[in-house]
Amino acid sequence: QVQLLESGGGLVQAGGSLRLSCAASGLTFSRYTMGWFRQAPGKEREFVVHITWSGGSTYYADSAKGRFTISRDNAKNTVYLQMNSLKPEDTAVYYCAAVPRSLPYSGQTVAYWGKGTLVTVSS
């Protein structure tokens, strides 16, 4: 049974930092492009960032560029999201998502979703 377990969310003041983790089990981690989506209250889920199976390439949404950094450790089956300079508009549930590496990374190609971790940024 595949499981993506996010952790690291919480309450932080604007300008602060958080590091999210997503531990994967039940799948061959290196066969998947990994990434993060988020869903703010009353809004649709949106793409944040992804990283290729080797970690060699990353792609960020404009909202995340320059502030967020994704990384992965295939030996630990874990992907990380370092979030700096957080803003109130970053408040959302953050979801880890796995896409088979042969497919383009999008919400439509996600094979596995985590249950999410809540990030709240106060002003």
User: Using an 8 Å Cβ cutoff, are 92 and 40 in contact?
Assistant: yes
Using one digit for the tens of pLDDT, what is the confidence trace for 74-113?
A: 999 999 999 999 999 999 999 999 999 999 999 999 999 9
Average pLDDT over residues 29-54: 97
Using one digit for the tens of pLDDT, what is the confidence trace for 64-73?
A: 999 999 999 9
Placement of tokens 């896409």 in the chain: 99
Average pLDDT over residues 39-52: 97
Assign residue 7 a region (left: φ > 0; alpha: ψ between -120 and 50; beta: otherwise): beta
Which of 17, 27, 49, 20 is CA-nearest to residue 116?
A: 20
Q: How far is CA 21 from the centre of its chain?
A: 8
Residue 28 neighbours by CB under 8 Å, 6+ apart: none
Could you give the 3-state DSSP secondary structure of residue 75? coil
79 strand-pairing partners: 22, 72
DSSP codes joined into one string, 8-43: --EEEETT--EEEEEEEESS-GGGEEEEEEEE-TTS
